[in-house]
Structures are given as structure tokens and as C-alpha cells.
Amino acid sequence: MKTKEKFELLYQKIEDRPFTSAIIVAAGNSIRMGKPKIFLDICGVPVITRSMLALQNAACVDEIVVAAKEADLSAITGLADFYRISKFRIAVTGGETRTESVINGTTAINKKAEYIMVHDAARPLVRPKRVDALCEMAYIKNAATLAVYAKDTIKRVDPHGKILETLPREQLMCVQTPQVFKSDIFLPAIKKAAEQHLVFTDDCSLLESMGETVYALAGDYDNIKITTPEDVAIAESILASNN
């Protein structure tokens, strides 16, 4: 494990911003990885640690709550302590679905949070400056997400593989995290989702289903999601090229 000295606090608190609470969702089953991906090392540092550090070093984030499997809570708390992640508030038990994990996370955030950020633990390479830019957009637009334009031509197909249409690539974006929402919009929406047992693959979809408008901010293609073993090697390559 890396020494603490290499991970001193890099962020500088920016005054006069709305209090923003970040929820890192880390309760997935890692089926495609074959083992818990949040503890995999990327250049010697666990995935979950890198995700926490990214938000630690984003000036707009005031606190970090991690929603994870109950068996992982102690280890996550220990990593937050070892790497001096001062914004870490608590690790709470996640749910069977992403939506349930986010809901559980909202119960642990500071009551004065005006904005809520949701980030996938499996995106450890997000850049703190990009997180700050996203927050700036959310503070104006109320709901925003990082996204990148699709590079490939996208086809809509039927269940048999028949191509039905070619979608306009210039209008298509691949959504990433973090995603940031004004709390008085997000909290009622996620409460309704819980009451109606609704499941969403991302939190923008939740807001969209409630009739809210969400805006996209162009992110970075190297903000990859660690899903398969190959992604670890790609992440290490990205880090090496950035040094």
C-alpha cells in the first residue's frame, strides 16, 4: 500500500458554494469481474480509494458517503482513514439495486446538503476539476451529468438483430458519473422511486421519469468504468500516460 505522504490533501475549499454531499455507490456484485472490483489495485491503490480521492480533491464536495456491501464497510472505513480522506463521513450498507443503495446513502448525508452528487465507485479516474465544472453546471441547471459523445455509429435493432434505424451520432452521448442534483428535486424523486419499487440504471433516468430536465457536460473518455479485468490494465495505462 502506498504511503500516506503521497496522498496529502490537494483540495482547497471554495467558499460560498452550496453544501454538496457525495454518495459513492459501491454495492455492486462485480459479476463480470469475477471478484469484488472496488478493492482491485490500480497502480497500487484500490479502486474505491481512487474514487474517494477524486472527490476529496474536488473543491465542490463537502462530504463523502459510501454505500457498499455490509461486509465491506470496515475495509472502506479503514482505507478512508489510511489515505486521510477527511471528507469521508461514513460507509453505509447498500441495497440490492443501485436505486436502493442511493436511497440508503441519502439517509446518511448532512441535512444541510443543498446538492447531492452520485458517483460510481467503479469510475476511479474521474478528474477533480471536471467534478467541479459539473457542480458549477448543476448549481445553475439543478441537474447535470458528465457524458461523452458516442464515437461509434449506433444502430437500433429488434430482438432478432434486424437493424431498424441508424441513430444520429451527433445527438448521442454515453452517460458517466458523477451526476449532481439539487436536493429538493432529487430527494422527493428517489423517495417516490422507493415507494413504487422503481429501478433505474442511473439517476438521470430517475429524474427524467419524474419530468425533470437534466443537462450533460462533456466529460473525459478516460473516465472509464472498471467492469472487466481488461479495464484494470486500461486504467493503469491511462494513469501511466498522464504522469
Number of domains in the chain: 1
pLDDT tens-digit series, residues 147-164 = 999 999 999 999 999 999
Structural domain includes residue 122: yes
Question: For residue 198, what pLDDT is reported?
Answer: 85
Residue type, 56: Q
At 78 the three-state DSSP class reads helix
Q: Are 16 and 110 in contact (CB under 8 A)?
A: no
Listed in sequence order, the residues at least 6 apart from 166 whose beta carbon sits closer than 8 Å to its beta carbon are 153, 154, 155, 156
Report how far residue 226's alpha carbon sits from residue 30's, in angstroms, rounded to the nearest whole number.
9
Question: How far from chain centre, in Å, is Cα 108?
Answer: 17
* Averaged pLDDT in 10-residue chunks for the chain of 243 residues: 39 68 87 72 96 97 97 97 97 93 96 97 96 94 96 95 94 96 96 88 92 95 93 95 80
Domain that holds residue 146: 13-242
Structural domain includes residue 4: no
Question: For residue 6, what pLDDT is reported?
Answer: 39
Question: For residue 1, what pLDDT is reported?
Answer: 36
Question: For residue 213, what pLDDT is reported?
Answer: 96
Structural domain includes residue 236: yes
Structural domain includes residue 2: no
Structural domain includes residue 3: no
CATH at 216: 3.90.550.10
Structural domain includes residue 149: yes
Question: For residue 29, what pLDDT is reported?
Answer: 67
Locate 187 and state its grid cell. Answer: 430527494
Structural domain includes residue 7: no
Q: How far apart are the first and last CA of the chain?
A: 19
* Helix ranges, 66-202 (H): 73-82, 98-106, 128-141, 183-195
Question: For residue 8, what pLDDT is reported?
Answer: 40
Structural domain includes residue 1: no
With CA atoms as reference, report the closest residue to 147 among 49, 197, 217, 47.
217
Report how far residue 12's alpha carbon sits from residue 240's, in angstroms, rounded to the nearest whole number.
25
* Helix ranges, the chain (H): 47-56, 73-82, 98-106, 128-141, 183-195, 203-209, 229-242
Cα dihedral 89, 99, 143, 170 sign? positive
